[in-house]
Amino acid sequence: MMTAINVKFKDLILSEDQDYLLINKPPFVSTLEDRNDPQNILALAKEYVAEAQVCHRLDKDTSGVLAIAKNPEAYRHLNMQFEDREVLKLYHAVVDGIHQFNNEVVDAPILKLNDGTVKISREGKRAKTSFITLQIYKSHTLVQCSPVTGRMHQIRIHLHSLNAPITGDQTYGGKPFFVSSIKRKFKLEKFTEELPLIKRMALHAFSLEFTNLKGERIVVRAPYPKDFSALLKQLSQNVR
C-alpha cells in the first residue's frame, strides 16, 4: 500500500483557534502511532503543538476532516460530545452499483474480529448509520453517510450489508475501479498493466460539526483529495 511522503502538517490545516486544529487528513497516513508508518498524524500534530491530542480516528486509507485538541480541556470537551453523540459527522463514499438511498438507516450491531476486521453480529456493539444518495452514475453511486455511533469500520460494513460496498474496499467486497471499465477506447502502453484509478477505498470524511468551548457551533468541511476528485470526474462522464 502506498504511504504519503513529505506531509507538511501546516498544509493540512482547514481551521485553527486557541483550542482546536481541524485538518484534512490525507489518505495513506495513520491517525495514531503505526509501526509501519512513522509519519502519523498524532506525531505531526505534536511537533506543531506539544499537547496535541487526536479526538477521534480515521482509517489509514480514509481522507478527510479530523479534529485535534490543542490542550487537555479542549480534548475532554470534544470527547464528551463524541460520547454523548452530539458531534455530527458526514462522510462521502463512492460505492459499487446503482443505489437509491433516501435516508436509509442501518441499525446493526458490529463485532470486532481478531484479524482486524468486523462483522455484523448480535454479539457486537450497537451501531447505527444513515445513508442518502447524492449522485447516481452508470455503474456507481456517490453516497452521503451519517454515522450515529462510532464503531470500527462501521460505514464500510453497513454499506456492505446493503450490497453497496465502497469502491476499492476489497476487505468488505468493494471492487477496484479501472478507467477501462467506462472508456471503451482506453488503451495502455505496451507491456504495462492497468492500475486502479484510486488505490484505496473511496471514503472521505466530508464534514464535522461540534460545539467549541465558547458554546459556538463549529462546522468544518474538507475538500476532496486528488484521487477522490479524479474518480468522480471519470464517473461524471457516465451519469445515469
Torsion, Cα 74 49 57 228, to 10 degrees, reads 120
CA distance 155 to 221: 19
Q: How long, in residues, is the chain?
A: 240
Catalytic residue among 37, 59, 61, 227: 59
Q: Which residue has cell 444513515? A: 130
What b-and-e string marks burial along 89-104, b requiring 16 or more CB atoms within 10 Å of the CB? bbbbbbbbeebebeeb
CA distance 55 to 77: 10
CA distance 7 to 89: 24
Q: Which residues have CB under 8 Å from 234's CB, separation 6+?
A: 177, 179, 182, 183, 197
Give the count of alpha carbons within 13 A of 147, CB side only: 27
Whether 59 is catalytic is yes
Q: Which residues have CB under 8 Å from 184's CB, separation 6+?
A: none
Q: Which residues are catalytic?
A: 59
